[in-house]
Amino acid sequence: MLSDRVVDHLLGVIDAPDLSATRYQLVEEVGRGGMGIVYLVHDSTLGRNVALKVLNDPGEARTLASLEHPGIVPVHEVGTLPDGRTYYAMKFVEGTRLDAYQASAPSLADRLRTFLRVCEPVAFAHSRGVIHRDLKPENIIIGAFGEVLVLDWGIASNLDGLASTIAGTNGYMAPEQLTGRTSAQTDVFSLGKLLQYLLLPTDPKPLCAIAAKASNTDLALRFPSVLDLAHDIELFLDGQPVTAYSESLLECVKRLISRHKTLTVLILTYIAARTVIFFFTRR
């Protein structure tokens, strides 16, 4: 009886692409999923390593080719293997997945800025009529210089309200995806779940409210767009009230003090000095 390791090796050999008619040389398999297999290959023409994804559905290559954004991995070439499968070559992304990034305990401000960098390519894709449909920590990479990339557009669909397949990841998939109906708010839901993932129990209530609104199961109560969600995060980072949370008077005062720390110190110093002068002049 063959061991699991041997079986996995044999399956890898069977699936290995025939690259004899291409400029690429196989190095190793680096990942696989329901929509295809990704290999690290060497581009003999340019003398560099790139990622090559062999697809079960050529639609992903067409989708990525239409999305030119710094937060989306660019497609270098699209072709067909001798067995009829489509492949595309792209930049080989090296960096830290969002789940590992979260485990490194970055500051709240860094987490929120990273989240905003995730929102940017998603909002761009929406402007081009494309919904990702599978936003999750495993599909977000943070590079060595802080660049953020949204990967795996394998189940992306057009922004037309209907998807040809029901797909996604439990815990990040909007409820309407189960019915095949999608919209920009479908990705907003997933981003809300991503924001919840990045937050700690000790993080401020306004942020929890933003995440809850983004991932509301009721479309009418959800942020209408990624830009609206991102705007609330930007308001929070600027020390301003957010739309998703109604703060109390005490919370408002605390926020203003935190936002204007230098001015607060100067005012308190002035009041203290005037108080001291007042008591000394009364003697």
Q: Which residues are catalytic?
A: 134
Is residue 115 within 8 Å of 194, Cβ to Cβ? yes
Polymer length of the chain: 283
Q: Which helix (H) or strand (E) holds 108?
A: helix 108-127
Among positive and negative, which fits the CA dihedral 128, 130, 136, 137? negative
- C-alpha span between 283 and 279 (Å, rounded): 7
- C-alpha span between 122 and 16 (Å, rounded): 32
Dig out the tokens for 78 from the structure: 């699209």
Single-letter amino acid, residue 61: A
